[in-house]
Amino acid sequence: MKISHLFDQFRKLTEVLNKILKQRIPKIPEFIEVYPLGIRLNIRVSGGESFYLMISPEKSFVKKGASAVDLNLEASENFWQDALKGEYSIISGMMEGKVKVRGLRSSFFPLIIFSSILSLFSNSLR
């Protein structure tokens, strides 16, 4: 999988999230109250590109490059490929040393939310 393909996969994730969040399903908690700026993180491919991901009830998106955020995740291209297929979660990758996390202390819950979202939507990203 090429890095540009990873960007396309993360873009598809944000498209799915935007469709779901527009429906304002009552069972989905309004995390805007807890995270008024949304969940913002940098996804880095070891030795490669970076992607800035914003998950917000108003608008979720991904951009190439990095931004000044607290949560930074770095892993190999193979790990991200496997995570997008649902074969790994970010949490298990972190525990196995496959994912480097910077900003964990201040961003533990956003990390859990992002890992859960990625796991839940991995099938719809194919």
- Sequence spans of domains, the chain: 3-121
87: left (phi over 0), alpha (psi -120 to 50) or beta: alpha
With a cut of 90, say whether residue 78 has pLDDT above it: yes
pLDDT of 25? 59
Residue 91 is classified by DSSP as H
pLDDT band at 27 (very low <50, low <70, confident <90, very high): low
Hunting for tokens 């964990």 — which residue is that? 104
pLDDT in tens, 81-108: 899 888 989 999 999 999 999 987 778 8
- In this prediction, residues 7-36 reach a mean pLDDT of 75
pLDDT of 61? 93
CATH architecture of 3-121: 2-Layer Sandwich (3.30)
Q: Which is more confident, 20 or 76?
A: 76
Mean pLDDT of the chain: 84
* C-alpha pair distances (Å), 94 with each of 6, 8, 119: 19, 23, 14
